[in-house]
A and B are shown apart, each in its own frame.
Chain A
Amino acid sequence: MLTVTELNKVYDGHGRRVEAVGELTFTVEPGQFVCIVGPSGCGKTTLLRCIAGLLPPTAGEVWLAGQRVSGPPKGLAVVFQEYGRSLFPWLRVAANVELPLRAAGLSRAARRRQVAEALDAVGLADAHGAYPWQLSGGMQQRVAIARAIAYQPQVLLMDEPFAAVDAQTRADLEDLIRSVWQRFEMTMLFVTHDIDEAVYLGQRVITLSAAPTHIADDIEIDLPAERDQLTTRGAPRFTELRGQVYAQIQKAKLERQ
């Protein structure tokens, strides 16, 4: 279980004080798929970095599986937006996926098995020997996702992972993430600025206000578990939920002005 309590983050430097995260409290149940949407510049990435233990919060706490997060915790993986910069260009695809497993001290056999399984799950079973920069952007992000899967985290954080790929690749990757989540049963926290994407992917969508961020809305997405780019996005309930999230975002933007 992931718990965020009264999280606050203030950037203070060079005589400028920016309150990125106002006060956030929420809980994510194990195995839940939660999307976080908010207007751009609202502190989504700051929130995610605090949860990942990459950034110390100014106040408040993050708890993961009964442990307080004070640095990058075990059992948590992050997929960054900048896939091109988060993969090691001097390591081939399989070695990229394997490196965190080596750091975790897994045996060679276990590493090989988990790498093969993860690359297979993202449809890159035949790309073990390629360098990341030999692949397209979408495929590079698949490698980053495979690396996260192979790590077998309890919680997977994704920071606008598909913001830099084209629309068709994006749809493929969305379906991939849904299938990965169903197959590996991990908790997903997916940050995006795309309302459609959030509603399509999540079981639950948390809408953030403009900075200093607080929770504007927290809605259950009661769409069927089997989702499909055509039928789900065409369903009346999808449009309804989408409208609901959209209204909250607009309201949040107006509050700011």
Chain B
Amino acid sequence: MIVRIAYRTTMILALPALLFATWWIASDGSTAFYIPPLRVILEAFGDTWFGPRLVDDVLPSLARLGFGYLIALLIGVALGVAIGLRQSLRALLEPTLEFLRAIPPPVLVPILMLFAGIGDEMKILVIVSGCVWPVLLNTVEGVRAIDGVLLDTCRSYRIGGWLRMWHLVLRSASPQIVTGARQALSVGIILMVISEMFAASSGLGFTIVQFQRGFQIPEMWSGVLLLGLLGVLLSLIFRLVEHQVLAWYHGLRAVEKER
């Protein structure tokens, strides 16, 4: 058991450690202004982010991401269930949805600025407009794929209302909903940064652009590094949640593989 954990930890950390070391050594003697040594970047990292900026820039960014992401999840799942359950609604909406999905969300930033200003509302709207699609479309697929025997079982036992919605529809679709939510998370992080690059007075994207304009190159690099680390952290949290929500699914899959 301990050996296995040690082995897995080594496997997970080996490549990052190698890349880190390569970067460190290769950049150590660098005198190029735009490519400072990693040593310098890390110094800047501590000074830049573990201060007032944590509260002024990092937390507002994450809060907007969190709000936008949750709103997108709610809208995506609710609409996805409605569309997935009704053939007529699907036929009516599918072409429109395909069109809307094809619009890259960043181009909405200038438009949304006109209506929602440059405050938090605009940035949250941008995040919602991008995150909602993967959730919506995956939910539709998941709901459509509900097993016919399970449907008959619910009908013959007269299981209806919220019991049916939760135990049949949502739980059946949960593997696909989680897949959509995972895609939405990475879209959300991208849009969080982009929405702050256009017009903002706080946030990670805003700060990184400020550093670039002010020729604070190590600080700029450290911001990029921070974004990467945040991405890793968020995906770890996502995995923990998924592990809880889909424990049955992974167990079922493992059993099916054995047979």
Report which A residues bind B (CB closer than 8 A): 52-54, 71-72, 74, 76-78, 80, 82, 85-86, 88-91, 99-100, 102-104, 131, 133-134, 147, 151
Contact = CB atoms under 8 A, between A and B. Distances in A.
Contact of B149 (A71, A80, A90, A151): A80
B149 A54 contact: no
Contacts of A86: 149-150, 152-153
B259 to A, nearest CB: 10
B166 to A, nearest CB: 10
A131 B147 CA distance: 18
Nearest to A148: B157
A89 to B, nearest CB: 5
Given A85-B147, A85-B149, A133-B252, A100 B157 contact: yes
A74 B158 contact: yes
Contacts of B158: 72, 74, 100, 103-104
B249 A102 contact: no
8 contacts: A71-B155, A72-B158, A85-B149, A89-B252, A90-B249, A99-B159, A99-B163, A133-B251
B255 interface: yes
B255 A53 contact: no
Contacts, number: 69
Contacts of A82: 149
Interface in B149-170: 149-150, 152-153, 155-161, 163-164, 167-168
B204 to A, nearest CB: 37
A54 B156 contact: yes
Contacts of A88: 150, 167-168, 171
A99 B149 contact: no
Contacts of A85: 147-150
B99 interface: no
Interface of B: 147-150, 152-153, 155-161, 163-164, 167-168, 171, 174, 248-249, 251-252, 255-256
Contact of A54 (B155, B164, B168, B255): B155
A90 B174 contact: yes
Contacts of B256: 133
Given A80-B149, A86-B150, A91-B167, A72 B248 contact: no
A80 B248 contact: no
A82 B163 CA distance: 22
B172 to A, nearest CB: 8
Nearest to B246: A90
A186 B139 CA distance: 41
A102 B148 CA distance: 22
A169 B148 CA distance: 26
A180 to B, nearest CB: 18
A136 to B, nearest CB: 11
Nearest to A84: B149
Contacts of A134: 251, 255
A120 B152 CA distance: 26
Nearest to B149: A85
A80 B156 CA distance: 11
Contacts of B248: 89-90, 131
Contacts of B148: 85
Contacts of A103: 157-161, 163-164
Nearest to A95: B167
A90 B157 contact: no
Given A99-B167, A134-B255, A72 B156 contact: yes
A168 B168 CA distance: 33
Contacts of A78: 152-153, 156
Contacts of B168: 88
A99 B152 CA distance: 14
A145 B149 CA distance: 15
Q: Which of A99, A134, A147 has the most CB of B within 10 A?
A: A99
A151 B147 CA distance: 22
Q: Which of B160, B167, B171 has the most CB of A within 10 A?
A: B167
A152 B46 CA distance: 67
